Amino acid sequence: MALIVQKYGGSSVGTLDRIHHVASKIAEHKRNKHDIVVVVSAMYGETDRLIHLAHALTPHPDPREFDVLISTGEQVSMALLCMALHAIYCPARSFTSSQIGIQTDDVYNKARILNVKTDRIKSELQKGHVIVIAGFQGITQHGDITTLGRGGSDTTAVAIAAALRADECQIYTDVDGVYTTDPHLVPEAQLLPIISFEEMLEMASLGAKVLQMRSVELASKHNMPIRVLSTFSSGPGTLVTFEDKIMHKRLVSGIAFSQEEAIISLAGIPKQIGLEGLILDKISQAYIEIDMIAQNTTAQDTVDFTFTVQRREHSKALKIIEDVAKKMGATSVKTNAKVAKLSLVGIGMRSHTGVASVMFKALGEAGIPIQMITTSEIKISVVIDEAQLERGVRVVHQAFNLDQRPVLAENYIE
């Protein structure tokens, strides 16, 4: 008998009809003699509604009370789902995270799970019940309610699956799984049958829409594979697992991108030791997060220094840098607040060369200038003009045959 943890997201339980549909899916798994632990999100839109209520009342709601408020949506879903299960004669019982003992730290709004107690779950499973648990919420050691950050029900599910050593952790959502890139941008994007934890984390900008990134980190730490599936269609979804489990490794798995970027560049800085630290010191004091950094020495023996920040911090960062540039004697500051980052992701890059040149050639042939490049072991990121992002993603996607079904053999490295 397999033990399966299933999580149903907000759109999966968004209406009473959908709750009935989810109940019948669960009952079917139960009939197949599986032990089922279900984690539910709030009904679609409910968490947003609660957040708006709080902010309409006061601009700075007390964090403790805020979590008490926004954790309630999940309690509604869990009770309704149990009622729907009872209506089809499937024994089920719902529990809040405090009833189960999902212990977190006391960082309200983005608490981390420290420990999951399993005794109550196990004893209820022994009675033959389906267990339905409220996602997104936890409890501090002092008994106060916390929440785990937006999308946190995924993390609840993974934490419970890991604590129970479940056979599978299934995340049911409204898409079929993880795609090679965003299908809204590139309709030819293909569903990935399997992807490694590491790739999934690198695909964050796409993946985050499907899975809370913290749940992927947790799953990777506890060796708990996750399967992302659609509630509304019957495909196998995408298995997110460790690299060793992937028999046929693809050279590249997908293309992630983020649009809200800005680039700032200081040119002609007279050389001095430690200038990099001096430039970024004030930026970090202002709590501005830096993403990419590049530096080079010019023929005149001065230094050019370029970095990217999130667009909403652009004007703040630029003001600081203009000041720094004056003090350090830089010849100019250039900036572009309308850039995007495009990242090619694949574990195959670890052992194969030539990936970057195919990518750069595709962009070059499309007439798309690259403004900055960074690489890691399994990722190559470039900064390009935001207006050219869509075409950039498309041509790189094509250059690696990511739009072919079945994916061409040459995209496999083993």
User: Which parts of this chain interact with ligand ASP (CB under 6 A)?
Assistant: 9-10, 41-42, 47, 73, 135-136, 150-154
Closer residue to ligand ASP (CB): 230 or 401: 230
Residue facing Mg ion at closest CB distance: 151
CB of 47 to ligand ASP, least distance (A): 4
CB of 27 to Mg ion, least distance (A): 24
Closer residue to Mg ion (CB): 70 or 347: 70
Residues 137-156 that bind Mg ion (CB under 5 A): 151
The span from the CA of 359 to the CA of 381, in Å, is 10
Residue with tokens 């139960």, as numbered in its chain: 30
Closer residue to ligand ASP (CB): 113 or 303: 113
Burial, 15: exposed, middle or buried (Cβ in 10 Å; 0-12, 13-18, 19+)?
exposed
Cβ-proximal residues to 395 (8 Å cutoff; 6+ apart), any chain: 362, 363, 365, 366, 368
Pick from 175, 248, 299, 171: which is nearest to 407 by CA? 248
CB of 139 to ligand ASP, least distance (A): 16
**Start-to-end C-alpha separation, the chain:** 34
CB of 225 to ligand ASP, least distance (A): 19
CB of 68 to ligand ASP, least distance (A): 14
CB of 249 to ligand ASP, least distance (A): 31
Closer residue to ligand ASP (CB): 217 or 390: 217
Closer residue to ligand ASP (CB): 172 or 305: 172
Q: Indicate which of ligand ASP, Mg ion, none lies near residue 150 (CB less than 5 to 8 Å, by partner kind).
A: ligand ASP
Q: Indicate which of ligand ASP, Mg ion, none lies near residue 393 (CB less than 5 to 8 Å, by partner kind).
A: none
- For helices 213-221 and 153-164, angle between their N-to-C axes, nearest 10 degrees: 10
Residue 233 is classified by DSSP as S
Q: Indicate which of ligand ASP, Mg ion, none lies near residue 152 (CB less than 5 to 8 Å, by partner kind).
A: ligand ASP
Specify the pairing of strand 332-345 against strand 254-270.
antiparallel
For 176, half-sphere exposure in the C-beta direction (CA atoms, 13 angstrom radius) is 14
The span from the CA of 177 to the CA of 172, in Å, is 9
CB of 248 to Mg ion, least distance (A): 29
| Site size for Mg ion (CB under 5 A) | 2
Interface characters, 327-366, with Mg ion (x: CB under 5 A)? ----------------------------------------
The DSSP H or E segment spanning 125 is helix 119-126
Closer residue to Mg ion (CB): 124 or 154: 154
Q: For residue 75, how many other CB atoms are within 10 A of its CB? A: 17
Q: Indicate which of ligand ASP, Mg ion, none lies near residue 225 (CB less than 5 to 8 Å, by partner kind).
A: none
Closer residue to ligand ASP (CB): 9 or 346: 9
Stretch that binds Mg ion, among 4-12, 83-91, 259-267, 351-359 (CB under 5 A): 4-12
User: Is the distance from CB of 147 to CB of 111 less than 8 angstroms?
Assistant: yes
Burial, 273: exposed, middle or buried (Cβ in 10 Å; 0-12, 13-18, 19+)?
exposed
Closer residue to Mg ion (CB): 11 or 241: 11
The span from the CA of 109 to the CA of 352, in Å, is 42
User: Is the distance from CB of 95 to CB of 39 less than 8 angstroms?
Assistant: no
177 binds Mg ion (CB under 5 A): no
CB of 151 to ligand ASP, least distance (A): 5
Total residue count of the chain as it appears in this document: 414
Q: For residue 287, how many other CB atoms are within 10 A of its CB? A: 8
Residues that bind Mg ion (CB under 5 A): 9, 151
